Structure 1
Amino acid sequence: MSWSVSGGQVLREGELVAGDVTLAEGRIAEGNGADRHLDATGLLVMPGLIDIHGDAHERALQPRPNVDFPADFAMRDAAAQLLASGITTAYLGITLSWEPGLRSLQAFESTLGALRNPPPGPDFRVHLRFEADNFDAEPAALAAIEAGEVHLLGFNDHTPGIRKKLGNSKELGKYAGRAGVSEEQFKTLAEAAYARRGEIPESRARMAGAAQAAGIPMLSHDDAKLEDRALFRGLGASICEFPMNEPVAENARAAGEAVVMGSPNVVRGGSHLGWASAAPLAERGLVTVLASDYHWPAMLAAPFRMAARGVMNLAQAWALVSTNPADALGLKDRGRIAPGLRGDLTLVTPEGALAAVFASGTLAWVSPEAAGRLG
């Protein structure tokens, strides 16, 4: 089925201009003939949102500690939520840790299994967040990379931070609940993982080699020092995700690397952890990509919040959630509205309310208010 989306303001080549968009055979097409029509008068027709890191699917898998749902059921829930947030390409941030439960090897493999037959709608991809000292799971991770089931490799290292919080009963209870073990068991697991720190460099090198062989991009996570960025740059990680301070972001940008921060940071007005504030860094060109992080709806709201600050216009702000992530990830078939590219569109009101979503040329979501625009 082909579609004509007409009468709206279309984001093309960095500008919002009046025009029509035709979708045919899953792509943006030239010409005006179409089977169906959507009247976009008064709406903004934007490239679909591309989420480089979203881990809100964890709440679909485990809405409460020790309450788990099957991965295929959770992925259907995730697909619906993603579309209702305007996201057409979703890199699920799947953490593969030494922890049992939600972030275990079993959960990772179950999610991969569900994504082999994904629910319709968004283009699901896997952002493997591999914990540095999860040596027992390394063979499975390498196999998934080689099989083409991982599309982005992230180097995580949360164990030192977790270990520091083991004396905090509230934090320990949170970790143990997520893992589905007793607090004492979790302590034992954390200490056992930490005891093997010396093996990390060789493991990272193997993981990086596998990613390079597979041709997938890599990113570093939570770089605290310039030395951290240099280390991961040396492994081939050309994306700097959630730098913990401004000098790290500056260093990455000086090297021509993409810098990722969270959309919730922008929408809330700052980091929930007290780290760098994303909006002013984006205005200075030090942050180039905004991800949903832990809250999918924030990604649609973030460009409007950026534009309201008065430094960037909406077209410039939208690049942070569409064009720039596509470029960082090497996705040449999306992130823009141009003939031949994927038919991924996010239609919004000028105030930022979602009206409709096209995913690969198919009408995947429409608001009750916009349903009357269909013909």
Structure 2
Amino acid sequence: MQTMDRVFEKLPKIELHAHLSGSVSRSTLCSLLNEERGVDRSASLPVIENDDMGSLARCFQLFQVLHSVITTVEIVERVTIEVIEEFAEDGVIYLELRTTLRPLPTLHAYLEAVMRGLMTAPSVVDGKLDARLLLSIDRARGLDDARATVDLLFESVQHWPNFILGVELSGNPAANSLVDFGDLLNKVKEQNLHTSVHFAELPGRDEEWLTFLERHVPDRIGHAVFLPLPGCVKNSSISAAALQASALVQKHRIPIEICLTSNVKVGTVPDYEVHHVRSWIDSGHPVCICTDDKGLFSCSASGELQMLVDRCGIPLKYLSQILVDSAQAAFCPESKKAQLIERITSFFVQHPTLLTEKHVPPENLLPNSQ
């Protein structure tokens, strides 16, 4: 009998917010540790369980282990391929990976290794999945490091114009100010490249949000946990600046990359049932459901959509529009977006029971699927 898990796995999914290192699976990490140390260390790895209250601390611990084993360009290429293949196995048809460049031994060598993995992954070669790349700017490293990343971006797009699409700004949200990076991000967009920005991850930085959006309008924003929701009004806990920032996001219809499990496990959202995604979807604003760090948080693209329905209360019939909006928000050319949208809409035409408001047993949702 078909289960709901299988229904979500079959959906043609779009993944727009996936950090490469954080997406490395536990199985890959265990394998790398065993190869490096010659003994089975898998039992000692920190595990991030769904209801683990210490999951954020465990996340950082696991990330340190990841960083310690990804030490050569060969390993970088390998983990890139394995991450892509895992997304493909989960039913993702379009993937935008993002990665912070590391000197292994140089930034160029690291990027070349990622690109080799991205272009030679079997699912990419076979056309099962389309994979692209964003270069990450770590706001904690400051503006000089950001400029170096953008310089390498401009150089690298000459070699891989169909694969490298732009930059994403992330890192410790308490470090520096988004405003510092606005002019540099504008230069990226002037070259017909794209920007995504981790946004409103901490409360109380309302003026920073507003000033940044007045200086730079990103193509997408990530998380937006503390951004006032559509329909909110000024009160003792919501400032005029925060409302204006939210109004600009809505005015420009900037798609929001929503990472449900990440938000819950990090603790910026107390639970799925009260997640801000519901208000944005109800308002008609475009959202993209993403994994963030599927390895660190033990989640999947299919699982995030299932959480959206089962825990956040979004009707199953909304998934078609959410997936189309995600394809529209992708940074690939319009011709590729059209192909993605065609695959999504065709899937729902073939499985009309997914669009019904009535309860349908899981085994009847995809009657023609094996």
Query: TM-score, structure 1 length as denominator?
Result: 0.58
More strand by share: 1
Deviation at 1:107, TM superposition (A): 2.9
Tell me the residue number matched to 2:321.
Answer: 319
| Conservation of the 8 A alpha-carbon contact between 1:263 and 1:298 | no
Q: Could you tell me which of 214, 223, 237 is aligned with 2:218?
A: 237
Residues of 2 paired with 1:227 and 1:146: CA distance?
34
Tell me the residue number matched to 1:117.
Answer: 120
Residues of 1 paired with 2:253 and 2:286: CA distance?
12
Tell me the residue number matched to 2:292.
Answer: 293
Deviation at 1:90, TM superposition (A): 0.8
Gaps of 5+ in 1: 1-41, 162-193, 357-369
Residues of 2 paired with 1:288 and 1:73: CA distance?
31
| Conservation of the 8 A alpha-carbon contact between 1:90 and 1:122 | yes
Q: Could you tell me which of 156, 161, 181 is aligned with 1:144?
A: 156
1:48 matches 2:46: no
| Conservation of the 8 A alpha-carbon contact between 2:81 and 2:120 | no
| Conservation of the 8 A alpha-carbon contact between 1:264 and 1:299 | no
Greater RCO between the two (CA within 8 Å, min separation 6)? 1
Q: Partner letter of residue 137 of structure 2?
A: F
Aligned with 1:70: secondary structure?
Answer: helix
Q: Are the structure 2 counterparts of residues 351 and 328 from structure 1 closer, same or farther at C-alpha, using a change threshold of 3 Å? A: farther
Tell me the residue number matched to 2:246.
Answer: 250
1:220 matches 2:191: no
Q: Partner letter of residue 258 of structure 1?
A: P
| Conservation of the 8 A alpha-carbon contact between 1:259 and 1:289 | yes
1:281 matches 2:279: yes
Aligned length: 273
Q: Could you tell me which of 150, 153, 164 is aligned with 2:167?
A: 153
Residues of 1 paired with 2:88 and 2:217: CA distance?
32
Q: More deviation in 104-113 or 125-134?
A: 104-113
Deviation at 1:46, TM superposition (A): 6.6
Q: Could you tell me which of 110, 135, 143 is aligned with 1:128?
A: 135
Residues of 2 paired with 1:72 and 1:342: CA distance?
34
Aligned with 2:267: secondary structure?
Answer: coil
| Conservation of the 8 A alpha-carbon contact between 1:54 and 1:93 | yes
Aligned with 2:14: secondary structure?
Answer: strand
Gaps of 5+ in 2: 1-5, 30-64, 229-241, 355-359
| Conservation of the 8 A alpha-carbon contact between 2:134 and 2:165 | yes
Question: CA deviation digits over 1:227-277, x for unaligned, max 9?
Answer: 3254246334132211140326833124322122104258xxx35232483
Tell me the residue number matched to 1:188.
Answer: none
Tell me the residue number matched to 2:42.
Answer: none
Tell me the residue number matched to 2:81.
Answer: 76
Q: Are the structure 2 counterparts of residues 329 and 79 from structure 1 closer, same or farther at C-alpha, using a change threshold of 3 Å? A: closer
Q: Are the structure 2 counterparts of residues 53 and 233 from structure 1 closer, same or farther at C-alpha, using a change threshold of 3 Å? A: farther
Deviation at 1:51, TM superposition (A): 0.5
Residues of 1 paired with 2:311 and 2:137: CA distance?
36
Identity %: 9
| Conservation of the 8 A alpha-carbon contact between 1:47 and 1:346 | no
Question: CA deviation digits over 1:204-230, x for unaligned, max 9?
Answer: 5344323332x2332221335353254
Aligned with 1:336: secondary structure?
Answer: helix
| Conservation of the 8 A alpha-carbon contact between 1:88 and 1:344 | no
Question: CA deviation digits over 1:313-344, x for unaligned, max 9?
Answer: 21213433x211111225532443469x9999
Question: CA deviation digits over 1:22-54, x for unaligned, max 9?
Answer: xxxxxxxxxxxxxxxxxxxx9689762111111
Query: TM-score, structure 2 length as denominator?
Result: 0.58
Q: Are the structure 2 counterparts of residues 152 and 318 from structure 1 closer, same or farther at C-alpha, using a change threshold of 3 Å? A: farther
| Conservation of the 8 A alpha-carbon contact between 1:127 and 1:154 | yes
| Conservation of the 8 A alpha-carbon contact between 1:220 and 1:240 | yes
1:80-91 to 2 correspondences below 5 Å: 80-91=85-96
Residues of 2 paired with 1:227 and 1:293: CA distance?
23
For the aligned residue pairs, the C-alpha RMSD in angstroms reads 4.5
Tell me the residue number matched to 2:258.
Answer: 261
More helix by share: 2
Aligned with 1:289: secondary structure?
Answer: strand
